[in-house]
């Protein structure tokens, strides 16, 4: 089975700060499944490192106010393209991210507060019928 996975969860340094966010459970996915690593912000055309972004009033804004909604939307579209190409019915995405977060994300104030919502990529994949979970839910599927 092919699974789309946030690349930062398996050690790729694609986060805004140029680092990864390796998660041991995500690494275990590599033993059982064919993992398709993906970073919507990079594929959307943003550089690494980059300023962090959050969603406010349906726009994605960097900390300095730069509007990066178009790049985030492109990254989401390409995620769906890749998921379809590889017939991924399932995606494991990094929690809280404005791209990858599922169920809850940072609230747009850059204060660490969370709000109930999905990141752009998680939202688009879900709308296409792909099951999306965050890294804390991996033990439920392993």
The footprint of ligand SF4 (CB under 6 A) covers 6-8, 14-15, 39-41, 94, 97, 99-100
Q: What is the dihedral of CA 80, 110, 45, 17, to 10 degrees?
A: -110
**For residues 3 and 8, which CB has a smaller minimum distance to ligand SF4 in the complex?**
8
Closest CB 31 distance from ligand SF4, rounded Å: 20
Least Cβ distance, residue 59 to ligand SF4 (angstroms): 17
Can the peptide bond before residue 49 be classed as cis, meaning omega within 30 degrees of 0? Answer: yes
Q: Report, in angstroms and rounded to the nearest whole number, the Rg of the chain calculated over CA atoms.
A: 14
3-state helix, strand, coil in the chain (%, to 5): 35, 25, 40
Nearest approach, Cβ of 41 to ligand SF4 (angstroms)?
4
Q: Which is nearer to ligand SF4, 29 or 99 (CB)?
A: 99
Closest CB to ligand SF4 among residues 18, 85: 18
Rounded to a whole number of angstroms, the minimum distance from the CB of residue 89 to ligand SF4 is 19
* Angle ∠(23,26,28) on CA atoms, nearest 5: 115
């Amino acid at each position: 089975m092919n699974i789309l996975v946030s690349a930062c969860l398996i050690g790729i340094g694609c986060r805004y700060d140029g680092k990864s966010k390796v998660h041991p459970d995500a690494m275990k996915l590599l033993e059982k499944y064919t993992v398709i690593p993906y970073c919507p912000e990079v594929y959307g055309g943003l550089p690494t490192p980059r300023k962090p972004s959050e969603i406010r009033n349906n726009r994605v804004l960097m900390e300095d106010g730069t509007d990066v909604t178009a790049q985030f939307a492109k990254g989401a579209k390409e995620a769906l393209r890749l998921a379809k190409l590889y017939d991924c019915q399932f995606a494991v995405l990094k929690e809280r991210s404005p791209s990858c977060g599922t169920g809850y994300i940072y609230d747009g104030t850059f204060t660490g507060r969370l709000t109930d919502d999905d990141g752009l990529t998680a939202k688009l994949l879900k709308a296409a019928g792909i099951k999306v979970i965050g890294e804390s839910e991996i033990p439920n599927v392993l």
